[in-house]
Amino acid sequence: MQNRPSGFGNPWLQLGMSVVCVFASELLLKRGASEIAAPHDAFSWTGINGLASPLVWWAIVLIVASFISWLYVLRYIPLNFAYPLSRVVDILVPLGCWIFLGELISTLRWCGIALVVFGLGLVAKPIAKMEQRL
Amino acid sequence: MSFLAFLFILISLVTFVAAQLILKKGMEFSATKGMRNSYFVSRVAIGVVLMTVSFFLTLGLLQRFDLSYLYPFQGLSVIFITILAAVVLKEKLSLRLTIGALLITAGIMLVSMS
């Protein structure tokens, strides 16, 4: 993790950008896939018919953007740190639904979110110490 | 869940995890040897193909199942990638990192089950 660029090229910033793009693309993909769902068509198992939805294309644009950021992240950060941290998206999705869509979050879901936050804290703590030393 | 659905979920997971490991190898190589070499290009190409396969299989599955139903399987990728990065890429795997990855996986499963 040494000799990493700063500013826009900071791999931690790129990791954050990658997460935001994945978050938005997950929601767009689900809406796009639901729009053109054809569960009785055997060909639809391939998912290729999903390309008929404009939302899926927007999701693909975001996926490409997140992929470019992710490749950059992989150049500087070990995979077993970067990947668990990138799963912060798994708490952003339900929290986004709660904040922006007014959906309710059950007690069990709050427990799940707490576990992910605790896990992320465990993974991130040695990184924070390493950053302080640099 | 039918056998076909289980098979597609499994292939989607395996291709995604394999893509991450191969891409990491390619990007690590590029950090020292640059990007104008066949090793880097072939690793990125294989990674992109595997991620594309995983993407279209997920898209097909999303037409049949809720996102929340498919999420636990995505959650498993955290622990698989953490362990395989240590085994295949020789990255350091501490007890803290293992427990953190397990908690994230368990948390993702709880979020999607509720």
Interface confidence (ipTM) of the complex: 0.83
Alpha-carbon span A67 to A48, nearest angstrom: 20
Digit-coded pLDDT (tens) for B20-65: 999 999 998 988 888 888 999 999 999 999 999 998 898 888 778 7
CB environment A40-66: b (16+ within 10 A), e (fewer):
eeeebbebebbeebebbebbbebbebb
For residue A28, count CB atoms less than 10 angstroms from its CB and return exposed for 0-12, middle for 13-18, buried for 19 or more: buried
Helix (H, G, I), strand (E, B) or coil at B34: coil
Q: Is the pTM of this model over 0.90?
A: no
Give the closest-approach CA distance of B47 to chain A in angstroms.
10
**Would an 8 Å CB–CB cutoff place B21 in contact with chain A?**
yes
Nearest-CA distance B34 → chain A (Å): 11
Mean pLDDT of A19-27: 88
- Portion 75-94 of B in contact with A at CB < 8 A: 75, 77-78, 81-82, 85-86, 89, 91-94
Quick one: DSSP state of residue A1?
-
Comparing A55-69, A90-104, B25-39, B89-103, the range with the smallest average pLDDT is A90-104
At residue B66, does pLDDT exceed 80?
Answer: no
**Rounded to the nearest 10 degrees, how much is the dihedral formed by the CA atoms of B63, B68, B70, B73?**
170
Distance from CA of A8 to the nearest CA of B (A): 18
By CB neighbour count within 10 A (0-12 exposed, 13-18 middle, 19+ buried), where does A8 fall?
exposed
